Amino acid sequence: MNKKDLISITDYSKEEYLRIMDLAADFEKTPNQKLLEGKVVASLFFEPSTRTRLSFETAINRMGGRIVGFTDAGSSSVTKGETLHDTIRMVSQYADLIVMRHPLEGSARYAAEVSSVPVINAGDGANQHPTQTLLDMYSILKTQGSFDNLNIFLVGDLRYGRTVHSLLMAMSEFDNPIFNFIAPEELHMPEEYKLFLQEKGIRYFEHREFTDIISEADIVYMTRVQKERFSDPIEYEQVKNVYILKNSMLKNTKPNMRILHPLPRVNEISTDVDKNEKAYYFTQARNGVFTREAIIAHALNLK
Amino acid sequence: MNDQQKKKLKLKVSAISEGTVIDHIPSESLFNVISILELDKTQNMITFGANLDSDKLVNKAIIKVSNQFFEDDDINRIALIAPHAKLNIIRDYEVVEKKVVEVPDRVVGIVKCFNPKCITNSEPITTSFKVISKEPIALKCKYCEKITHEKQMVIK
């Protein structure tokens, strides 16, 4: 298959990561490039995701494309019992590209097999969300100037958080990263990822809290610790405040350090951090539009 | 029952002139093996026995299929549920070749993905796994990318 689908972050090579970064920088310089003129993009959201959908639709609009699709499965043929197979078969005859979000894991890989046009995965359950990872990478590159020799702190739910797993996989392609995992016992980084780093000879450290070590970080990537992930509610009560980032913790951090978060945030970053120049999460969301323009251009060989 | 009597009993399962004898199947996997090899659809004569004594397995099963021979790729499909199965290829009542099964690098169909949220468990999709460990077996789903371990394996 020569279609340029993007289903998992590992579908792209290191060269492709760098190419997306170059294209994203180009789209940031000139966001409105009418490369999708006369093209139709299907935006199939089988479950709602306002942020991701608006980001994609903004990217498509800025590129001059037209959008067809639906914003949740309730308003689609799924309610009539149509299979994913049939929906994708049909839509791929209408559109030039499919962007899809689906609650079931593996749905995007399957859709790519069924579809005759490229499929971009905008999230398949808890499995993959590669465009988020690429926008995280673009944010890292923009703020650090390089992917090499970075000390990356991953904080919060490292067990179920798909964004941290994908980011770890992608960043491990570059030179000499150091990972610091900061998570409660119940939500620690799964063994398979630690084994993966060991095999690549990449250094990582595990901690239960990060106030004392945050001064070493180049990137602090925050995620939410959700109450429903804990089997023991007492355990949650004990740890819930440990994984909250407060402005007072940023005093001795490196000047180049930036705070990322995939959003939406609940309370894991205090609002007093927002004014700090090291808070980067809203700019990160903005970078998502340029990164998605880049991914679309790459998928359709427009650049 | 002495050894002599046991031998006589074994002989009651008739020998075949041409075909394949699949031996050392765990008894509980017998019907899954029959189904994976589609022996339930064949017109050839089949005899099978289960709960037989064996040196290696407490409870082994055996299948004799007349006039049928299997490609390695086909026979390896049973490796997941009968890893110690042995094949005897029979020509003119003689064993002319012995084969053992081997866990393949990819498993297509046969096994269910253990992840209830995997798309293969909600649409009629043939499962497909990369075998990432053969002993004990670990299968990585091509779709949801989750790993099904031997203990969690359910045959479709």
Question: Tell me, what's the pLDDT at A241?
Answer: 85
Determine whether the interchain pair B142/A109 forms a contact, defined as Cβ–Cβ distance below 8 Å.
Answer: yes
CA triple B82-B85-B87, angle to 5 deg: 140
ipTM of the assembly?
Answer: 0.89
Q: Per this entry, what is the length of chain A? A: 303
The torsion region of residue A106 among left (phi > 0), alpha (psi -120 to 50) and beta comes to left
Task: Tell whether the model's pLDDT for residue B13 goes beyond 60.
Answer: no
Q: What is the DSSP letter of B118?
A: B
> Inter-chain contact A84–B123, Cβ cutoff 8 Å?
yes
Q: Does B119 touch chain A if contact means CB atoms closer than 8 Å?
A: yes
A145, exposed or middle or buried, with CB in 10 Å at 0-12, 13-18, 19+?
exposed
Mean pLDDT by 10 residues, chain A (303 residues): 88 97 98 98 94 96 97 79 94 98 96 98 94 98 98 95 94 97 94 95 96 97 89 87 94 97 92 97 97 98 94
Q: Does B4 touch chain A (CB under 8 A)?
A: no
Residues in a beta bridge with B131? B139
B147 phi and psi, to 5 degrees? -105, 125
pLDDT in tens, B96-152: 999 999 999 999 998 999 999 999 999 999 999 999 999 899 999 999 999 999 999
CA distance A239 to B138: 34
- A103 and B117 in contact by Cβ < 8 A? yes
Tokens of B89: 């290829």
Alpha helix ranges (H) inside chain A: 14-29, 50-62, 84-94, 107-114, 130-144, 162-171, 191-200, 233-239, 281-299
In the predicted model, what is the mean pLDDT of chain B? 89
Interchain contact B142–A (C-beta under 8 A): yes
**pLDDT at residue B156, rounded to an integer:** 79
Residues of chain A contacting residue B146, judged by C-beta atoms under 8 Å apart: 105, 127
Please report the pLDDT score of residue A1 as a whole number: 47
**pLDDT at residue B10 tops 60:** no
Angle at B24 between CA B18 and CA B28, to 5 degrees: 115
Q: pLDDT tens across B79-93, in order?
A: 998 988 999 999 999
Query: Which pLDDT score is estimated for B7?
Result: 58
**DSSP one-letter code for B146:** P
Instruction: Please identify which of the residues A62, A129, A162, A165 carries the catalytic annotation.
Output: A129
**Residue B21: pLDDT band by 50, 70, 90 thresholds?**
very high
Can you give the pLDDT at residue A297? Answer: 98
Q: How far is B1 from chain A (nearest CA, A)?
A: 52
Rg, C-alpha atoms of chain B = 17
CB–CB of A105 and B144 under 8 A? yes
Closest to A105 measured CA to CA, from B113, B47, B96 = B113
This prediction's pTM: 0.88
Q: Is A102 a catalytic residue?
A: no
Q: Which is catalytic among the residues A3, A14, A34, A51?
A: A51
* Nearest to A124, CA basis, from B57, B120, B55: B120
**Do the Cβ atoms of A106 and B120 come within 8 Å?**
yes
Residue B34 is predicted with a pLDDT of 94
Q: For a pLDDT cut of 90, what percent of chain B falls above it?
A: 70
The whole-angstrom separation of Cα B110 and Cα B81 is: 10
**Interstrand relation of B111-112 and B106-108 (parallel, antiparallel or unpaired):** unpaired
